[in-house]
Structure 1
Amino acid sequence: MREHSEVPVPRVRWVESSPDILGQPFLVMDRLTGSVPVDNPPYVFGGWLGELDPARRRELQDASVDVLAGIHAIADPASKFPSLAADAGLRRHFENERRYYEWSHRDDGVRIPVLEDAFSWIAEHWPAAPSADVLCWGDARIGNILYAGTRPVGVLDWESAWLAPRELDLGWFIFFHSMFQDIAEVFEVPGLPEMLRRDDVVARYERTAGVQVQDLDFYLTYAALRHGTVMARIHRRRMHFGEVEAPEDPNEYVLHHQMLRRLIDGTYSWK
């Protein structure tokens, strides 16, 4: 990323491929200093981001969307990131998600209806002509950015990088904040309803990237499905360690199952 873009990432100093020292290969990179919108509790419940005035939050939002555009602007990513090229594309990404879901339930056969309905919905609503593959960050959200004030100074967490349509990142970026905002409203907390609204993010992205966003409803629902498979696995892991009980309704393995159901039904409102 440092070689091919202006996206701020830590400088990697050394890579050690031998497991002899720490038991596995590792890398050493520069330490960056900044503030992060936290996940636990979600940043919509309070903290430094909420203390900024609305104009400053909009600066942060626009700068964050510009990070996405900068990542996606890297030309010919297959040649620059050959390790990603062998397993690229939206179809392969979806197949991997389905395999992950099946793997996570292989021992007890528990099925989660809302996730299985979402897998079916995605297959039935596949884009007729997906946009061209770009380098996608994979975990594109403000919680993975270090900020100095409103300026991004470190873009982190690249283990989910993929070559796929740009909307894969945009869907995740918009979905994640909307999910957090929904949680805030359940707890009767104001949250940050003016931030990262769908239309605002798309308008800024299209202006910065010079492209038109396609099939976003598909990618937003896919983002909710992807996060649902993760949340279900986390819940089941907590059950394994005796932290929680199995829910009576298997859909409740998914934190945002009501949101996902409304997305499938076409009744979710993007405020």
Structure 2
Amino acid sequence: MPRLDDQRAETGEMRTSTRDLGELRRRMRAWLAGRLAGASRVSVSELTRPSGNGLSSETLFFTASWAEGSGEREVECVARMAPAAEAVPVFPEYDLGKQFEVMRLARERAGVPAPRTLWFEPDPAALGSPFFVMEQEKGDVPPDLVPYTFEGWLVDASPADLRRLQTETVRILARLHDAPVRPEELAFLRPGHPGDSALRRHVNEQRAYYEWAHGSLRIPVLEDAFAWLDDNWPRSTGQDVISWGDARIGNVMYRDFTPVAVLDWEMAAAGPREIDLAWMIFLHRFFQDVTVIMGLPGLPAFMTREDVCEQYRSMSGHTPRDMEFYEMYAALRHGIIMARVWHRRIHFGELEMPDDPNDLVMHRAAIESMLDGRYWD
């Protein structure tokens, strides 16, 4: 049986940036001094990067301070940048303006605790790529490495605390999806790929992403999943809503098991509610399955499909439909991303190319069991 120490080594810290922090700090201070018209004594602390979660946009922590009129301001900040091309990005493009706008919309219209947005800079000249700055929050984030199902504050939590965390996290989705927005306000979130519905455009965008991420390399288990989706397409997909896209507890910051910041909006889109629900359910199941393989109990009664869907129905009035379809779609999307992450690690000499391309997908067994129906037994 694999050991926990082996898992730590296998999922050790991955290279996520090629940029020099000292140079970024100098350029950030110069940019901020120009942005804060009329301010004086502008300073930026040393920049740091978070450990643990995050393989897409580059994240930087710093404190900005300046004099304004007769007063002093000091703000703890987080900057999100598109990754440098030489860092082998996970995604083909990083629309920082879209992220900035959807966070504002989620906070102001839906009452979702997205971080307070401060500044957006579309010009790459300032730091080398577009970026935005938001206020920093304090709290606990369930880690991916080592997974929160292995050890730590969630595994040690009482059933009541776990229940509160799940309930309040599902409430985020209910509030976001019920946000009072007009259809035209969702235009910037609609995928630009062809299709007769938001779901069809969403899936076609994922097909294009698969082709970009892996080029001429064919990954049969992912292509079989695409074919399964076509064969099991929902009859109706309902209304389009703001879809967070990366809706999972590893992208939420908590205090006292209550969400205080909803993070990572780069996968946001317009689409059916079930996209977010299935992603939240599947991503926990993914970590739970890994935990069971390691011989640990994990959190088997947490974030189950039946429980999450019932909570969501009671909060929103919407009964989730076709969840097997959306869970397969979640597994497929996650598979494309994880295979791209493996390619990054090959590029940086951290892993080797497996003999079987399907092994690029860490959870291939889960997708295979979905394809033959065993996953939902």
Q: TM-score range by the shorter chain?
A: over 0.9
Query: Pairwise mapping of residues 96-115 of structure 1 onto structure 2 (< 5 A)?
Result: 96-106=205-215, 109-115=216-222
Measured after TM superposition, the shift of residue 151 of structure 1 is: 0.8
Q: Deviations over 1:78-122 (max 9, x none)?
A: 33343114638111111111111112222xx22111111101001
Find the counterpart in structure 1 of residue 353 from structure 2.
246
Letter in 1 for 2:268: A
Select 2:132's aligned residue among 9, 24, 27: 27
Tell me whether 144-153 or 25-34 shows the greater mean CA deviation: 25-34
Measured after TM superposition, the shift of residue 16 of structure 1 is: 2.6
Tell me whether 261-270 or 74-83 shows the greater mean CA deviation: 74-83
Tell me how far apart the structure 2 counterparts of residues 85 and 223 of structure 1 sit (CA, whole Å): 18
Letter in 2 for 1:52: A
Find the counterpart in structure 1 of residue 258 from structure 2.
151
Find the counterpart in structure 2 of residue 49 from structure 1.
154
Whether contact under 8 Å (1:77, 1:134) holds in the other structure is no
**Which SS does the other structure have where 2:166 is aligned?**
helix
Find the counterpart in structure 2 of residue 257 from structure 1.
364
Q: Is the strand fraction higher in 1 or 2?
A: 2
Tell me how far apart the structure 2 counterparts of residues 110 and 77 of structure 1 sit (CA, whole Å): 41
**Which SS does the other structure have where 1:3 is aligned?**
helix
Structure 1 residues 242 and 25: alpha-carbon distance in aligned structure 2, compared to 1, 3 A threshold: closer
Find the counterpart in structure 2 of residue 130 from structure 1.
237
Measured after TM superposition, the shift of residue 160 of structure 1 is: 0.7
Whether contact under 8 Å (1:16, 1:27) holds in the other structure is yes
Measured after TM superposition, the shift of residue 230 of structure 1 is: 0.8
Measured after TM superposition, the shift of residue 77 of structure 1 is: 4.8
Tell me how far apart the structure 1 counterparts of residues 271 and 328 of structure 2 sit (CA, whole Å): 16
Find the counterpart in structure 2 of residue 76 from structure 1.
181
Measured after TM superposition, the shift of residue 203 of structure 1 is: 0.5
Letter in 1 for 2:188: S
Q: TM-score, normalised by structure 1?
A: 0.95
Whether contact under 8 Å (2:110, 2:180) holds in the other structure is no
Find the counterpart in structure 2 of residue 8 from structure 1.
113
**Which SS does the other structure have where 2:133 is aligned?**
strand
Letter in 2 for 1:246: M
Find the counterpart in structure 2 of residue 186 from structure 1.
293
Letter in 1 for 2:367: L
Q: Does 1:233 align with 2:340?
A: yes
Find the counterpart in structure 2 of residue 213 from structure 1.
320
Tell me how far apart the structure 2 counterparts of residues 61 and 85 of structure 1 sit (CA, whole Å): 28
Tell me how far apart the structure 1 counterparts of residues 238 and 372 of structure 2 sit (CA, whole Å): 25
Tell me whether 119-128 or 20-29 shows the greater mean CA deviation: 20-29
Bigger Cα Rg:
2
Whether contact under 8 Å (1:77, 1:163) holds in the other structure is no
Tell me whether 10-19 or 117-126 shows the greater mean CA deviation: 10-19
Unaligned ranges ≥5, structure 2: 1-105
Measured after TM superposition, the shift of residue 140 of structure 1 is: 0.2
Select 2:246's aligned residue among 139, 149, 152: 139
Find the counterpart in structure 2 of residue 17 from structure 1.
122
Q: Deviations over 1:39-96 (max 9, x none)?
A: 1111001111111101110110010000010110013353334311463811111111
Find the counterpart in structure 1 of residue 84 from structure 2.
none
Measured after TM superposition, the shift of residue 241 of structure 1 is: 2.3
Tell me how far apart the structure 2 counterparts of residues 227 and 67 of structure 1 sit (CA, whole Å): 21
Q: Deviations over 1:216-259 (max 9, x none)?
A: 11000000000001111111222222222221222111000000
Structure 1 residues 89 and 65: alpha-carbon distance in aligned structure 2, compared to 1, 3 A threshold: same
Measured after TM superposition, the shift of residue 191 of structure 1 is: 0.6
Measured after TM superposition, the shift of residue 149 of structure 1 is: 1.0
Tell me how far apart the structure 1 counterparts of residues 346 and 118 of structure 2 sit (CA, whole Å): 40
Whether contact under 8 Å (1:167, 1:219) holds in the other structure is yes
Tell me how far apart the structure 1 counterparts of residues 182 and 312 of structure 2 sit (CA, whole Å): 19
Tell me how far apart the structure 2 counterparts of residues 175 and 86 of structure 1 sit (CA, whole Å): 23
- Taking only aligned residues, the RMSD between alpha carbons, in angstroms, comes to 1.5
Q: Is the helix fraction higher in 1 or 2?
A: 1
Higher relative CO (Cα under 8 Å, sequence separation at least 6) belongs to 1
Whether contact under 8 Å (1:78, 1:85) holds in the other structure is no
The percent identity for this pair of structures is 47
Whether contact under 8 Å (2:240, 2:273) holds in the other structure is yes
Q: TM-score, normalised by structure 2?
A: 0.69
Select 2:198's aligned residue among 64, 89, 103: 89
